[in-house]
């Protein structure tokens, strides 16, 4: 059993962001005494979450070089399970976000029993193939499109999953994996991987805009995933009612279908469509809508970055971001420097975002809630 206190989580957070630090620098950064820091790091060393790495001489200090402390990749592992209308992706990730093994399969059936009938056995096989001891597995993170209702355990499904039963995320998934399961929707899960492994390593505040068949996202404030009253903060799709044209993948698919072009998967809209008049018209409108969204986010939150990602084809995302980041200003009377507009490098690994959920809950200071378990029965 692993019981991480608040300051132990702060140590892990600093090491995750810096990649390695000497004890003297850790103590100074945290504002704690050397004996307190020694106790904290001894606990984490004993738990196998950190390790002693290379030696490095600290500027201005004489004597023996300091031993750098760093996260131990083998300190713990997590499972990440992601599914969308197109496919299911599962991975085993280590403590620093390396994917040790993964599984991908297209989905032809969107029923709950079919999807979970694939996910459960595939996850078990991945752990076996990666030779991971179950005692080092923190849990399973799971994510799929949808937004939360007033009941925090109930997710409103997108239309492709409309035939599911009323899923309770706190109880209906765990039997398929035999370990604790933690859920976030797709936009928020990817924001967590962005926080640990992407843009969030350089900025403390950012917004994630996740463009798939729908429009989702998340807000990170002071390295904390801000959920809001009903856990729907950052659900930017609500700014674009489904009764109107919107910058979503489903909207683009519907426009193509109305012209007789049936697209079964977003990935089928390759660069061969770049000059198609429906696609160019949609893209021009979508970029203007997303510019206004960026202006709203910038004015409301003043983040360091706005990160665009999703399962929209990469060439479309790249086109959108290239235009937005080229703007000197987001709108009239916007006189301050706008936030950095970036394209996520993690769009292809949303299952890593899922795998980040258990680590965020167990090891991030802003989520401190007491006991965290390492291993499962």
- Helix, strand, or coil (residue 238): helix
pLDDT tier for residue 312 given thresholds of 50, 70 and 90: very high
- As a whole number, the mean pLDDT across the chain is 88
Q: Are 192 and 16 in contact (CB under 8 A)?
A: no
* pLDDT score, position 260: 94
Of 179, 181, 175, which is closest to residue 144 (Cα–Cα)?
181
pLDDT score recorded for residue 196: 94
Mean per-residue pLDDT, 132-159: 76
Chain segment 72-98, per-residue pLDDT in tens: 999 999 999 999 889 999 999 999 999
Longest dimension (CA), the chain: 75
The set of residues, in sequence order, having a beta carbon less than 8 Å from that of 39 and lying 6+ positions away, is none
Q: What is the pLDDT of residue 105?
A: 96
User: Residue 314: enclosing H or E segment and its boundaries?
Assistant: helix 314-326
Q: 342, 308 in Cβ contact below 8 A?
A: yes
Asked if pLDDT for residue 59 goes beyond 70, the answer is no
pLDDT at 3: 73
Distance (Å, rounded) from C-alpha 236 to C-alpha 244? 15
At 313-366, the pLDDT tens digits run: 999 999 999 999 876 666 666 666 778 999 999 999 999 999 999 999 988 888
Instruction: State the pLDDT at residue 331.
Output: 63
How many Å apart are CA 180 and CA 194, to the nearest integer? Answer: 23
| pLDDT tens string 94-127 | 999 999 999 999 998 889 899 999 999 999 999 9
* pLDDT value of position 299: 87
Instruction: Give the domains, in start order, of the chain with CATH numbers.
Output: 6-71 (1.10.10.10), 75-189+350-367 (3.30.420.40), 202-343 (3.30.420.40)
pLDDT in tens, 203-255: 999 999 999 999 999 999 999 999 888 888 999 999 999 899 999 999 999 99
| pLDDT > 90? residue 190 | yes
pTM of the model: 0.89
Supply 96's token pair.
């620093």
Closest CA to 307 of 220, 216, 209: 209
Beta bridge partners of 78: 93, 139
- Distances in Å between the alpha carbon of 324 and those of 284, 287, 336, 339? 12, 8, 16, 11
Q: In this prediction, what percent of the chain has a pLDDT beyond 70? A: 88
């Amino acid at each position: 059993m692993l019981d991480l206190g608040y300051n132990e989580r702060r140590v892990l957070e600093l090491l995750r962001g810096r990649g390695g630090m000497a004890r003297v620098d850790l103590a100074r950064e945290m504002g704690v005494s050397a004996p307190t820091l020694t106790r904290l790091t001894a606990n984490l060393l004993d738990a196998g979450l950190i390790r002693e790495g290379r030696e490095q001489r600290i500027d201005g200090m004489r004597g023996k070089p300091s031993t750098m402390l760093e996260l131990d990749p083998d300190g713990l592992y997590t499972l990440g399970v992601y599914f969308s209308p197109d496919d299911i992706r599962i991975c085993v990730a280590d403590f620093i976000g390396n994917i040790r093994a993964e599984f991908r399969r297209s989905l032809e059936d969107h029923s709950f029993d079919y999807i979970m009938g694939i996910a459960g056995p595939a996850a078990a096989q991945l752990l076996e193939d990666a030779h991971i001891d179950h005692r080092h597995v923190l849990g399973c993170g799971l994510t799929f499109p949808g937004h939360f209702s007033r009941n925090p355990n109930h997710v409103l499904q997108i239309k492709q999953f409309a035939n599911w039963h009323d899923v309770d995320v706190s109880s209906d998934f765990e039997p398929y994996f035999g370990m604790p399961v933690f859920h976030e929707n797709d936009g928020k899960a990817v924001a967590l991987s962005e926080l640990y492994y992407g843009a969030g390593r350089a900025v403390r505040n950012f917004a994630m805009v996740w463009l798939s068949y729908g429009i989702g996202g998340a807000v990170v404030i002071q390295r904390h995933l801000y959920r809001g009253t009903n856990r729907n903060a950052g659900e930017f799709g609500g700014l674009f009612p489904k009764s109107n044209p919107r910058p979503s993948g489903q909207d683009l698919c519907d426009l193509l279908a109305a012209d007789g072009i049936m697209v079964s998967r977003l990935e089928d809209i390759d660069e061969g469509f770049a000059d198609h008049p429906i696609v160019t018209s949609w893209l021009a409108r979508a970029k203007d809508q997303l510019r206004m969204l960026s202006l709203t986010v910038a004015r409301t939150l003043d983040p360091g970055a706005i990160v665009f990602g999703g399962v929209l084809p990469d060439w479309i995302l790249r086109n959108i971001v290239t235009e937005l980041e080229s703007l000197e200003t987001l709108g009239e009377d916007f006189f301050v420097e706008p936030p950095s507009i970036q394209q996520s490098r993690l769009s292809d690994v949303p299952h890593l975002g899922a795998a980040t959920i258990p680590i965020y809950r167990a090891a991030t200071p802003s989520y401190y809630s007491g006991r965290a378990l390492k291993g499962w029965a």
